[in-house]
Structure 1
Amino acid sequence: MFMAASTGEVMGTQTDWSGVRERVIAVVEAEHRAHGSEPSPHPIFEPVLTAAEIAEVEAQYGVALPEEYRTFLAEVGAGGPGPAIELTSLRRVDGRWGWVWDEGEPLLLDPSGPFVETEDWADQQRATLRTAGHEPTTRDEEEDYLDAYYEVFGEAGESVWYEERVRGAIHVSDNGCGMTGWLIVVGPHSGELRNRDCATNPPFEPYLDARGNRHTFHSWYLEWLERREREAG
């Protein structure tokens, strides 16, 4: 297992989530009033997690969660509104922790290796196929070596391919229309986020701020909240 260093620990900074939960609730309620809608009977946020629960998550996966995400879970909520539609909810289901999206089966983190960046993905595929005794010859323009995965792993080929593609990262947000957000947990870019399009083999693109700097969970969430507050006006 790989132990991921958190962004806050590396940079030596403190993450401030004070007032964020209340601000999100206020803007959601203001939007309901503006549209003449009744307040939702459901809580806006999932409950926060205790220190013991977060430690249980980290022990289950053998990783340290990025500090900004860990403190969000403890101070804001284990799920709720967020870029662009909502965050996945971290819940214990049947004794195991996983990330729940749209009430489906919990999504698990594979901590067995670092997240593979888009530019290194084809090399990773070739290495996997060679380890399985297969020398890849043809790289599809859109799907890289997915056909070779079917040849080697049979019907499980796509599942193996997909699980390897998102290894080391958490599916952290639903962005609508098949778009998803991923928080890197394992590897040199732990704490950064990537956006995934709905295509079969899209590039995982870093989220960038207005200056072109890569977002961390804290800057990404606050930028979204500030924009939503301005729009609510």
Structure 2
Amino acid sequence: MKRWVMAATTYSIDRLPRRIVAKQRLQLPLAAARVLKPLDLVEGNEPRIRRQREHHDRLSLKMPTPEPQVDLVDRLDRIRTKLERLRAADSSFSVFGSDAHQYRLRPPLPPEALSDLEKHLGVQLPDEYRLFVAQLGDGGAGPYYGLIPLDDHDLEDLTQPDLTRKPFRWTAAFNPYDWDDPCSQEDVWCDDEDDSDEEMAEEGNREEDEEAPQRQIILGVPGALYICHYGCGIRLLLIVNGQSCGEVWRDAQNDDAGLRPECDDRSRHMGFMDWYERWLDESLATIGPPQQDSPEDPRNDAQEPSY
């Protein structure tokens, strides 16, 4: 097989398009002085190449242009500033749950400790949460009763490595009570029917119109890291494995309300930083700016602050 190096391009006779070499295959060895050009420069081929490029340009115009992502470090700086403003504005801890954390974050996790925890959980943490824990703080100030520290498991042991290693399988709100035969589903715990019958028998003095107790069904949520406690057994979790990874969901199983994603005003599922910053914005809007009393300025008495 002969090769010809012409116009800084290497060609193999057997690899050239047949329509180019079919009529000249026998003459090619005698045409060494001729310059073989790339395919798009071959004489008579320009119209086809031009049509291909025009078609490609039309397709490019139809492709949606991705929105530029805000740099996570810039978002983290913005969150830090808002948290400092909230701490200064709410010295009396009037925001729900704030007296538990007092707007203080625990120290960030060193890279080695963070990597060890990821190995323990069997997952790589979502970028937003990982950056928050590594640069801003590991637990403390946050929505409701604050963020649960990553390096100290929650008191009820809801975050378990054997569950975080399994993928989260849902993209929309659901309730295990609505499933067909939920007790046969994976990772579902149900109280024993015999125990429920005994409890009902012991309560023979129950009024006739009183509703019988419902069988308890609890899903051990796979692929989830519990990050926040709302109270009354309702918790917020971060999806770290499987579908919806990076989103914040609300676990209201204790209230028989199932699980649902946290959504913004446009019903879009929220990631960790969106969820955290929404809490900051709503809290700041609720309490307003810090009050600075100045008796010398009569405007303080004449104009009420705008909330």
User: Could you tell me how far apart the structure 2 residues matched to 1:169 and 1:150 are?
Assistant: 31
Instruction: Report the counterpart of residue 85 of structure 1 in structure 2.
Output: 145
Match of 1:126 among 174, 184, 189: 184
Pairing of 1:188-199 with structure 2 (within 5 A)? 188-197=243-252, 199=254
**Deviation at residue 126 of structure 1 after TM alignment:** 2.3
1:92-111 Cα offsets, whole Å, 9 max, x none, are xxxxxx433xxx36653322
Q: Which moved more, 1:105-114 or 1:14-23?
A: 105-114
Identity of aligned residues (%): 26
Query: How big is each residue's C-alpha offset from its partner over 1:142-186, in whole Å with a ceiling of 9 and x where there is no partner?
Result: xx97246989xxxxxxxxx74x52221011111123221011111
Partner of 1:155: none
TM alignment of 1:86-101, pairs within 5 A: 86-91=146-151, 98-100=152-154
Q: Which amino acid is the alignment partner of residue 23 of structure 1?
A: K
Distance between the aligned counterparts of 2:106 and 2:239, measured in 1? 22
SS in 2 for 1:175: strand
TM-score (norm 2): 0.52
Cα-to-partner distance string for 1:45-102 (whole Å, 9 max, x where unaligned): 11011222211111112210011100110121101221233111122xxxxxx433xx
State whether residues 192 and 206 of structure 1, in contact with CA within 8 Å, keep that contact through their aligned partners in structure 2: yes
Matching of residues 118-197 of structure 1 within 5 Å = 119=174, 121=176, 122=179, 125-128=183-186, 146-147=190-191, 162=218, 165-197=220-252
* Equivalent in the alignment of 1:139: none
Query: 1:74 & 1:150 partners in 2: Cα distance?
Result: 48
Contact 2:246–2:271 under 8 Å retained in 1: yes
- CA spacing shift, 1:147–1:43, aligned 2, 3 Å: closer
1:21 — aligned with what? 80
The one-letter code of the counterpart of 2:122 is G
User: Rg: which structure is higher?
Assistant: 2
Please state how far the C-alpha of 1:30 moved relative to its aligned partner: 1.9
The one of 91, 108, 112 aligned to 2:165: 112
Write the distance in 2 (CA, Å) between the matches of 1:107 and 1:150. 26
CA deviation vs aligned residue, 1:168-206 (integer Å, no higher than 9, x gap): 101111112322101111111111111122636431011
Residue 56 (structure 1) aligns with: 116
- 1-side partners of 2:239 and 2:280: how far apart? 21
Take 1:199 and 1:193, find their aligned partners in 2: how far apart are those partners? 18
Name the CA shift for 1:51/1:212 in 2 (closer, same or farther; >3 Å). Answer: same
CA deviation vs aligned residue, 1:99-137 (integer Å, no higher than 9, x gap):
33xxx36653322311243648547742449xxxxxxxx
Structure 2 partner of 1:212? 267
Q: Which of 107, 112, 117 is the aligned partner of 1:47? A: 107
Indicate the residue corresponding to 1:156 in structure 2: none
TM-score by length of 1: 0.66
CA distance in 1, matches of 2:100, 2:242: 39
CA distance in 2 between partners of 1:18 and 1:145 (Å): 42
| Unaligned ranges ≥5, structure 2 | 1-66, 196-216, 289-307
Q: CA distance change for structure 1 residues 219 and 89 in 2, over 3 Å: closer, same or farther?
A: same
| Residue in structure 1 matching 2:127, options 64, 67, 75 | 67
Cα–Cα, structure 1 residues 31 and 114, in superposed 2: closer, same or farther, change >3 Å? same
Number of the residue aligned with 2:91: 32
Secondary structure at the counterpart of residue 82 of structure 1? coil
- Where does structure 1 lack aligned partners over 5 or more consecutive residues? 1-10, 92-97, 130-143, 152-160
Alpha-carbon distance between aligned partners in 1 of 2:227 and 2:262, rounded to the nearest angstrom: 13
Q: Is the 8 A contact 1:99 1:172 kept in 2?
A: no
Partners of 2:239 and 2:248 within 8 A in 1: yes
Task: State the distance in 2 between where 1:115 and 1:26 align.
Answer: 36
Q: Which amino acid aligns with 2:247?
A: E
